[in-house]
Amino acid sequence: MSLAFLLTSLIVVATPGTGALYTISAGISGGARRSLVAAVGCTLGIVPHLAAAITGTAALLHASGVAFAIVKFLGMAYLLFMAWSTWHDRSVLGRDDPQTVKRARRVIGSAILVNLLNPKLTLFFFAFLPQFVPNHAGGQVGAMLALSGVFMGMTLIVFAGYGLFAAAVREHLIARPHVMQRLRRLFAVSFVGLGAKLAATNR
């Protein structure tokens, strides 16, 4: 496994995007447990994109403008829904409690959808992974699976770090609900911006 792959993957994973933003938001609003659940969900959300890149079905998405547009606008609609939900969230910050556990399925489901409904990820992996698998090497599928596993591991670690840092900051916000409300609105606006960016992307 090349150093170039590891460095490039780290840069890609560490660059703040939709998944990182969602994980940070989960950490600030729900604490460490919720942020880790979000990190796991975001990691699982890239599995279908990696699978599409490995099996070659990403080429169909690249070739079909209709399929790309459908996934793209579904992703945009979901980001706008998240923005609306975050903006209107009036829950009070508190310590982790049993209610946090009950919300785990909803958090992980949202985290999966955040990455799943982004067609650019499929095309990214379709172009990215093969660059690090020599054409003459045997077991190319196995090599791509190994690269995918490393990328997912890095994603989980980095996102968990983002989330835990956000959860630590949350401790200082519990007594400042007005600051928390401003942060929620900032996240909501950021989700709108990401949705607009996704809507403007092309194959």
User: pLDDT tens digits for 156-171?
Assistant: 999 999 999 988 888 7
pLDDT over threshold 90, residue 131: no
Question: Alpha-carbon distance 15 to 25, whole Å?
Answer: 16
Contact in structure between 27 and 162 (CB atoms under 8 Å): yes
The residues, ordered by sequence, that sit 6+ positions from 120 with a Cβ below 8 Å of its Cβ are: 198, 201
pLDDT band at 60, cuts 50/70/90? low
Average pLDDT estimate for 95-121: 71
Q: Say what percent of the chain tops pLDDT 70.
A: 74
- The helix/strand/coil state of 49 is helix
Provide the pLDDT for residue 165: 92
The domain segmentation of the chain, as residue ranges, is 30-200
- pTM recorded for the entire structure: 0.74
Provide the pLDDT for residue 197: 74
Token pair 């890609």 is at which residue? 12
Q: How many Cβ atoms from other residues are within 10 Å of residue 152's Cβ?
A: 17
Question: Alpha-carbon distance 159 to 174, whole Å?
Answer: 22
Provide the pLDDT for residue 77: 79
